[in-house]
A and B are shown apart, each in its own frame.
Chain A
Amino acid sequence: MAKKLPAVDAVMVGVGWTGGILAAELTRAGVSVVGLERGPFRDSNIEFAFPHIRDELKYGIRFGLAQDVSRDTLTFRNAAEQTALPMRQLGSFLLGSGTGGAGAHWNGQTWRWTPYDFEILSQTRARYGQGAIDEDMQIQDWGVTYQQLEPFYDKFERTAGIGGKAGNLQGKIQPGGNPFEGARASEYPNPPMKRSQLGDLFQTATQGMGYHPFPGPSANMTQPYTNPDGQALGACMYCGHCERFGCDYNAKASPNNTVLPTALATGKFEVRHNANVVRVNMDSSGKRAVSVTYIDLLTGEEIEQPADMIFLTSFTFGNVKLLLVSKIGEVYDPVTNKGTVGRNYTYQLSAGAGGTLDDKDLKVFAGAGAESVVIDDFNGDHFDHTGLGFLHGGSISASSAGARPIQSNPGGAAWGSAWKRAAAQAYNHAVGIGAQVSSLPFRSNHLDLDPTYRDAYGLPLVRMTFDYRGNESKRSQYLTAITTKILTAMGAKNVVGRGLPEHYSIVPYQSTHNQGGAIMGMDPSTSVVNPYMQHHQVSNLFVVGASSFPHNSGFNPTGTVGAMTYRLADALIKRYLKNPGFLT
């Protein structure tokens, strides 16, 4: 029998960006909040201290800050006719765990998505007609527009101290910024990052080609910064250890140094670490969530925590898994195309080109996770797709995140003296231009529960069925050709394009931008949550994060995750707390 604890106002399942933002906002409004985090407590002053945090083997290769997949992982197959097999070690993506979740070890690239993203179906139909949409492509409008989201993008950017240059201030295009972005009410809270030589060459080349380069927006602080909540961050030192690492300068905005301390300072927020939630419990009507059950990983004890409001604030897979194992909502079936839970799983795709700049001292060891120069000319619907055979696109960037020696694995031939010579030559001269490419939802790509494999608590693993569908190879070829052209214009030699392989693989790292499965929308027959990430049938259950995104853009998701979460917090405080019910 589970031990039942006294009820609290709200419980967060997962203490990363979404749980942290909601905890900070709700506790300041007087709500008592408990955060249940399955990972360990990390004191970033100790765990992220110099020099030990600069350990590539521990954090970059053995994934010291990521989720322990011996306890919970997922199974994967490319297609329904295959048997899904467990992801036995991390690879394609690095799930977060512990205080701050994946927000503790992200790169800090913080984007606003394009206005087109939120109205992708109606805008595509209007411009190209229904015929431009593949039969199996399940794009939909989100039920929230960029304009509605704008104040909350602004709020997240201020909380996280984003450095950048506005391209569209209140409808006026600004020199040096992204002219394709949606109108912003105000400038970024911090100036852009310093530009590496690679970025400078990219800037010059793309400008010369008639494109519109600008500095990528960054949560790596470009100067000492105190956010509106009073949290102080240091300035980035361009040490080249962001993604997969914590920041020893306290210069990378994370839940750990922004929203979590803000919530804790209210005295109304309690975080319980090593607490693995295994179920959301419903009342007999099936319309109200009453509690969550978790395993205390230090004692093995099963504990029930009742709450008035329940927020699934885990990563995409955790959110979808809890809905599935708790049997809340109808499971999506790609054959009948009925059901909603698990629908529209998407990922972040890529394209790009590599080459060498032999006569330049690139100092590739220096950099920051979000140090980049970007063009947005080929993202979203910023270019005419007529006759191209694909929709959407990607942002193209030259990024200097810091080339660490094991991961960058320099050199051409695999081993021996030839490899050694190539490694010595290549390290400081190898360059790449990457396109971060959208991923649109297809009928057969989805998440459900595995029939065979179980986690350490006896629950089925989430099963992922995912492959490249429809026109993604055409889009990849198109963007690869552009990156190849840019790199050549930058003076690079030995330029080789890197498009998508034939099939998606779970093995090499690609991005931790896994989305969908509990998507938002206006129609309960095709979405799990409404545009406030509130469950369509269970009004006190909120499924928060990128699990709610109906498709994946050509940008990193965290900025949009933050904005959506602030929008939910605002609606809860202004409306829901006074009058609990469905938010419209």
Chain B
Amino acid sequence: MSDANERRKFLKGLGLAAVSLGIGAVAEPPSVEAQAQPAAPPAMPAMPAATPTGASPYTYVFFNSTESAFVEAAVARLIPKDDLGPGALEAGVAYYIDGQLAGWYGEAGRWYWQGPWQQGTPQQGYQLPLKPSEVYRAAIPLVNDYTQKQFKADFADLSAAQQDTVLSGLEKGEIDLGRLPARTFFAFLLQNTKEGFFADPTYGGNAQMVGWKLIGYPGVQPGYSQIIEQYTTPFPLTYASIGSYTEDNPR
């Protein structure tokens, strides 16, 4: 069984409480550690599943079970858990994407949405009559059809190496998804994965601010006027999110 698959089953069995445990055990990435004071205990992300009791696992509101299995597997490969720390799966990025697609972003809220629809040049931007939520809904079964033909399994049940091959094929447009451009779907998936990894934890991803800790972005700080000119003094990286101020740890 693949590493990604194991993680997925593990998370499904235990609920998101497992995510917090996993993250706690991970060392800071070297680039952060080099300049960081010992970090203050991170605030808990403001999502239901990550309450201190860990009693309520996340419930998908947009994705069905096939879709959530796909997205969990895909984000785990796009930003994998490795020696640098948790990846997108552990950061809750699948939950982030679910929430985004269930909301106004998924419905192309505030996008111009009148026809006629016509394919343009790359310089003219996105011109498909598919909302972000519809791109995922249309693409995931097509990718699974492809992997069933190639590997006799859904994408989520492939080995990590096979998943990487498929993702790479989507990225390069080498996998034919029929009327849906594979590159378009991949671009949504990758963009949303990185958003979820680096957005404020309020949105369900970047749990425990793991994305910020990876790169050394301190998050939501009042200001830096005292340090902007201190070129050689390291800034104490006491990470904070929006929720750090409004819920868990008012300062």
Nearest CB in chain A: distance from B134 CB, A: 14
CB neighbours (8 Å) of A69 from chain B are: 110-112
Question: Do the beta carbons of B231 and A361 come within 8 Å of each other?
Answer: yes
Beta-carbon contact of A416 and B231 below 8 Å: no
Q: How far is the CA of A367 from the CA of B221 in the complex (A)?
A: 12
- A54 near B242 with CB under 8 A, answer yes
With a CB–CB cut-off of 8 A, which chain B residues contact A403? 217
A423 to B32, CA, bound (A): 12
**B215: A residues at CB distance < 8 A:** 405, 410, 423-424, 426-428
**Are B228 and A54 in contact (CB-based, < 8 A)?**
no
Residues of A within 8 A of B228 (CB): 194-196, 238, 363, 366-367, 371, 400
Q: State in angstroms the CA–CA spacing of A87 and B111 once bound together.
A: 9
CA distance A220 to B236 in the complex (A): 25
Chain B residues with CB under 8 Å of A382's CB are: none
Tell me whether B164 and A416 are in contact (CB under 8 A): yes
Are the C-beta atoms of B123 and A405 separated by less than 8 Å?
Answer: no
Interface readout for A395-408 with B: 1 if CB under 8 Å, 0 if not?
00000100111100
- Chain B CB count within 10 A is highest, among A197, A405, A415, A506, for A415
Type the 1/0 row for A411-424, where 1 means its CB is closer than 8 Å to any CB of B. 00011110111011
Interface string of B182-200 (1 = CB under 8 A from A): 0000000010011100111
Q: Beta-carbon contacts of B209-237 to A below 8 Å, as 1s and 0s?
A: 00110111110111111011101101100
Which residues of the other chain, A, contact B234 by a CB distance below 8 angstroms? 361
A62 at the interface (CB under 8 A from B): yes
Q: Confirm or deny: A302 has a beta carbon within 8 angstroms of a beta carbon on chain B.
A: no
Are the CB atoms of B82 and A417 closer together than 8 Å? Answer: yes
A239 within 8 A of B: yes
The tally of residues in B whose CB lies under 8 Å from a CB in A reads 66
A54 and B227 CA atoms in complex are apart in Å by 19
Where chain B touches its partner, the secondary structure class is: loop
Pick the contact of B171: A86, A91, A414 (CB < 8 A): A414
B79 nearest in chain A by CB position: A420
Taking the nearest CB of chain A, how far is it from the CB of B109, in angstroms? 7
Chain A contacts for B124, CB-based, 8 A: 76-77, 85, 506
Whether a CB of chain B sits under 8 angstroms from the CB of A452 is yes
Chain B residue numbers with a CB within 8 Å of A423 are 214-215
Q: Which residues of B contact A194 (CB under 8 A)?
A: 225, 228-229
CA distance A266 to B30 in the complex (A): 58
What is the distance, in angstroms, from A221's C-beta to the closest C-beta of chain B?
Answer: 11
Cβ of B178 under 8 Å from chain A: no
Do the beta carbons of A62 and B218 come within 8 Å of each other? no
* Interface set, chain A 364-417, CB cutoff 8 A to B: 365-367, 371, 400, 403-406, 409-410, 414-417
Report the Cα distance A423→B194, complex, angstroms.
11
Indicate if A185 sits at the interface (CB-CB under 8 A): no
The one of A91, A428, A454 that contacts B31, using a Cβ cutoff of 8 Å: A428
B123: which of A51, A371, A507 is its contact (CB, 8 Å)? Answer: A507
Beyond A88-B125, A200-B231, is A51–B217 a contact (Cβ under 8 Å)?
no
| Interface bits B28-68 vs A (CB < 8 Å: 1, else 0) | 01111001000000000000000000000000000000000
Closest chain B residue, CB of each to CB of A83: B118
Asked if B31 and A425 make an inter-chain contact with CB atoms under 8 angstroms apart, the answer reads yes
A85 near B127 with CB under 8 A, answer yes
Binary A-proximity of B73-90 (CB < 8 A = 1, otherwise 0): 000011110101001000
Chain A residue nearest to B82 in the complex (CB) = A417
A78 in the interface (beta carbon within 8 A)? yes
Q: Which of A67-123 contact B (CB under 8 A)?
A: 68-70, 73, 76-78, 82-83, 85-89, 91
Which residue of B30, B80, B194, B229 is within 8 Å of A195 (Cβ)? B229
The reply on B105 being an interface residue by CB < 8 A is yes
Q: A69-B112, A405-B198, A424-B214 are contacts. A361–B232 as well, Cβ < 8 Å?
A: yes
Cβ of A260 to closest chain B Cβ, rounded Å: 25
Cα–Cα, bound, A395→B135 (Å): 42
Knowing A51-B245, A85-B120, A406-B195, the reply to whether A236 touches B225 (Cβ < 8 A) is: yes
Bound-state Cα–Cα, A88 to B84, Å? 38
Q: Which of A51, A240, A452, A507 contacts B125 (CB 8 A)?
A: A507
Contact: B220 with A506, CB < 8 Å?
no
Are A363 and B224 touching (Cβ within 8 A)? yes
Interface string of B134-172 (1 = CB under 8 A from A): 000000000000000000000000000000100100010
State whether A197 and B231 are in contact (beta carbons under 8 Å apart), knowing that A249-B223, A406-B198, A409-B194 are contacts in the complex.
yes
Give 20 pairs: A residue, B residue, CB < 8 Å, sorted on A: A50-B222, A51-B245, A54-B242, A56-B199, A57-B203, A70-B110, A82-B120, A88-B113, A194-B229, A235-B225, A237-B223, A361-B234, A409-B194, A415-B79, A415-B193, A416-B77, A420-B79, A420-B84, A424-B214, A428-B215
Q: Which residues of A approach B to under 8 Å, CB–CB?
A: 50-52, 54-57, 61-63, 68-70, 73, 76-78, 82-83, 85-89, 91, 194-197, 200, 235-240, 249, 360-361, 363, 365-367, 371, 400, 403-406, 409-410, 414-417, 419-421, 423-428, 452-454, 503-507
6 more A-B residue pairs beyond the given contacts A239-B223, A367-B224, A400-B228, with a C-beta to C-beta distance below 8 A? A78-B123, A89-B112, A239-B221, A361-B231, A415-B193, A428-B31
8 closest pairs, A vs B, by CB? A237-B223, A366-B224, A427-B215, A405-B198, A57-B199, A505-B123, A197-B231, A85-B120
Binding site for A on B (CB under 8 A): 29-32, 35, 77-80, 82, 84, 87, 105, 108-114, 116, 118, 120-127, 164, 167, 171, 190, 193-195, 198-200, 202-203, 211-212, 214-218, 220-225, 227-229, 231-232, 234-235, 242, 244-246
